[in-house]
A and B are shown apart, each in its own frame.
Chain A
Amino acid sequence: MCLTCGCGTNDVFIRGKQARGASTAAAPMRIHLDAATQGEASRIIKLEQDILAKNDGFADKNRSLFSANGILALNLVSSPGSGKTTLLVKTLEALKGKVPLAVIEGDQQTDNDAERIRATGVEAIQINTGKGCHLDAQMVERSLPQMSLHKQGMLFIENVGNLVCPAAFDLGEAAKVVVLSVTEGEDKPLKYPDMFKAAKLMLLNKCDLLPYLTFDVARAEEYARRVNPDIQIFRISATSGEGMPAWLEWLRLKHITINSLPPQAGEGAGMRGVGYIQPVA
């Protein structure tokens, strides 16, 4: 188990079924010390391999699938309790009927968030990471065939509530959207800079509570821009609805951009085998 946050990587469940872990992963190669290797001279092997290369490979695969099908995929990240799921529910309610929607929910345990999403009528698949502290690209890749993704749709991936680990793992999304709520500290962008650096958009949530708090909005935004000068910021409240139009407009424009990208060479041919992506009626 990881010392910093207690993470581990065994036992991933997608829709309650084990997708990775003790019974599904390739067993680690056992020590194999036969007589032939005893006393053999050692040699140096140069590798220079990126530790995240495997994840990035799956992320590229996901991204090609999304872009070839005009799907806007977003990775929602935040600390626990920032209001990601409420934001998502309100967003889905606003977009329902206008564009095909789907959600992947990541949590260590329980199906609670997926249930909240399904109550809006939108399909949601729950990935339980067990002891894992983040979603990775392979988990997303494995869950995609279990959903009915529609061309020209939007896929929201709600990551495990954690401002640290999900920063390093590309899932193939068009953008990471970081949610920071005003009930947290305004210095979170400096405390967790990797995440704010990785995000394209920051949603400052629960702004309806500002009159009751000492949260310094200008300072929080300045800190976020120190880490990432290009980050876009909207002040919103998923509960009261304030600022939501700006977020919905951002989504609309991103969706248009994804759909106006010409398919990359070879993508069209590769996509024919993907039967589960259904055309919009």
Chain B
Amino acid sequence: MHEMSLAENVREIIEDASRKQHFQRVKTVWLEVGKLSCVEQEAMRFCFESVMKDTIAEGATLEIVETEGQGRCTQCGNEMQISTLYEACSKCGSYGLQVIAGDAMRVKELEVA
């Protein structure tokens, strides 16, 4: 989907950090990507590589840490692992689970020099 602009945002976050924390080279970037977030990992890898060209993160390794989706049933309160937004509660069968984890997309850490 919109991985190109997300990758651009990652670049800006890295460049901001380099100004504040004084580093000139990024070796590894760890991204946390929830299974329920709107990130398609393959597209993100492709966009990351092209966006980081000619920047301090050119050639950096992209490590994607995938987090599981967690939902809470709004009817019975049951908490369960989910992989789509339209799953039914595993206990009572109702739809409309509230997403409580696994929808984040974050720059977690950088390995820099």
**What residues of chain A have their CB less than 8 Å away from a CB belonging to chain B?**
1-5, 7-9, 28-34, 36-37, 40-55, 132-134, 136, 164-165, 167-169, 189-190, 193-194, 197, 223, 225-230
Contacts and interface: CB of A to CB of B under 8 A. Distances in A.
Interface in B73-96: 74, 84-86, 88, 95-96
B96 A52 contact: no
A3 B42 contact: yes
Interface residues of B, number: 49
A4 B38 CA distance: 12
A29 B56 contact: yes
A224 to B, nearest CB: 10
Contact of B9 (A36, A51, A194): A51
16 contacts: A2-B4, A2-B43, A4-B3, A5-B2, A29-B18, A31-B55, A45-B110, A47-B17, A48-B108, A52-B105, A53-B9, A133-B1, A189-B86, A193-B85, A223-B86, A227-B85
Give the residue among B5, B8, B23, B46 with the most A Cβ atoms within 10 A.
Answer: B5
A47 B113 contact: no
B1 A225 contact: no
Nearest to B31: A51
Contact of B13 (A4, A46, A49, A226): A49
A230 B98 CA distance: 11
A190 B13 CA distance: 33
Contacts of A193: 84-86
B54 A43 contact: no
A45 B86 contact: no
B108 A2 contact: no
A227 B86 contact: yes
Give the residue among B21, B31, B50, B95 with the most A Cβ atoms within 10 A.
Answer: B95
A40 B96 CA distance: 51
